[in-house]
Amino acid sequence: MAAMTFETVLFAIENGAARLTLNRPEKLNSFNVQMHLDIRHALDEVERNEDVRVLVISGAGRGFCAGQDLSDRVFDPNQKPDLGASIENYYAPLVRRLRALPIPVVAAVNGVAAGAGANLALACDLVIAAKSAAFIESFSKLGLIPDTGGTYFLPRLAGTARAMGMALLGEKVPAEQAEAWGLIWRAVDDEQFASTVDAIASQLSSAPTKGLAHIKRAIYASAHHSLDEQLNMERDLMRELGESHDFREGVAAFLEKRAPRFIGR
């Protein structure tokens, strides 16, 4: 196991899976500047390490992430904070980076995900939540709008009516409701949460990673493409994947009636 030491996150790589745990449990893992910097350095390692084939993001303690730490100096209301600069310098680059990673990113939501913490989870490719977890778009309580991609993800995942309700009212949405609305992939019993996350991480870390990366790329691009543009993209990506090692291995394993041994290329 490869591990790195940070002030506000835990980070380790094992068997092709990188695990990034937000680690400010006394603050429900809320963001401060140091956490942003620590995550940035951890993602540097994810991008450098060719053995990493899936990233799992979770929270320490009883919460996933409560959003921005309002006691952080950058958000001192007496200093007339530039919230736009905080978005531009920290939250927006994080979302862009997660979406662009050429590996699956799994949010393992173990507890409350509020504000930027909720939208951080929604920025990931798969969201698995414990049934005791909940999602809260708490921005309206402070006279703000959902950031960290919230105004983009919510209507696309849940539809305009539900997005408006969540954003305007700031009500708690339990994990099972989030699953029913299509906000997340799955809500699981708390006692099965850790084993479910482990099983998904194991499955993705041994899957044909290049193919998964192109699935991610194509699905996210589809929102901005016409049907013809998307069909052309599918053609080009399939042509490229048809020359990959993992496609040849997958076909050979199928014909030989054995389990495939993908290497991610």
Q: What per-residue confidence (pLDDT) applies to 73? A: 62
**Confidence grade of residue 264 (pLDDT, cut at 50, 70, 90):** confident
Angle, in degrees to the nearest 10, between helices 209-222 and 227-241? 170
- Please give the Cα distance from 108 to 48 (Å, whole number): 23
Judged against a pLDDT cut of 80, whether residue 262 lies above it is answered with yes
Residue ranges per structural domain of the chain? 2-205, 209-255
Report yes or no: 101 and 52 within 8 Å, Cβ to Cβ.
no
Asked, colleague to colleague, whether 2-205 and 209-255 share their fold, the answer is no
Q: What per-residue confidence (pLDDT) applies to 265? A: 86
**Confidence grade of residue 82 (pLDDT, cut at 50, 70, 90):** confident
Fold for 209-255, please state it.
Lyase 2-enoyl-coa Hydratase; Chain  A, domain 2 (1.10.12)
Judged against a pLDDT cut of 80, whether residue 163 lies above it is answered with yes
Residue 186 to residues 38, 42, 177, 179, 191: CA-CA distances in angstroms?
Answer: 28, 26, 10, 6, 14
Q: What is the mean pLDDT of residues 103-117?
A: 98
Judged against a pLDDT cut of 80, whether residue 81 lies above it is answered with no
**Confidence grade of residue 76 (pLDDT, cut at 50, 70, 90):** low
Judged against a pLDDT cut of 90, whether residue 14 lies above it is answered with yes
The CATH number corresponding to 2-205 among 3.40.630.40, 3.40.190.80, 3.40.50.720, 3.90.226.10 equals 3.90.226.10
Handedness of CA 254, 256, 257, 261 (dihedral sign): negative
The SS3 call for residue 172 is strand
Amino acid at 261: R
Judged against a pLDDT cut of 80, whether residue 240 lies above it is answered with yes
- Please give the Cα distance from 31 to 25 (Å, whole number): 11
Q: What is the mean pLDDT of residues 153-175?
A: 98
**Confidence grade of residue 131 (pLDDT, cut at 50, 70, 90):** very high
Report yes or no: 218 and 230 within 8 Å, Cβ to Cβ.
yes
Q: What per-residue confidence (pLDDT) applies to 83? A: 87
Q: What is the mean pLDDT of residues 251-263?
A: 95
Judged against a pLDDT cut of 60, whether residue 75 lies above it is answered with no
Amino acid at 126: L
What are 37-46's pLDDT values in tens digits? 999 999 999 9
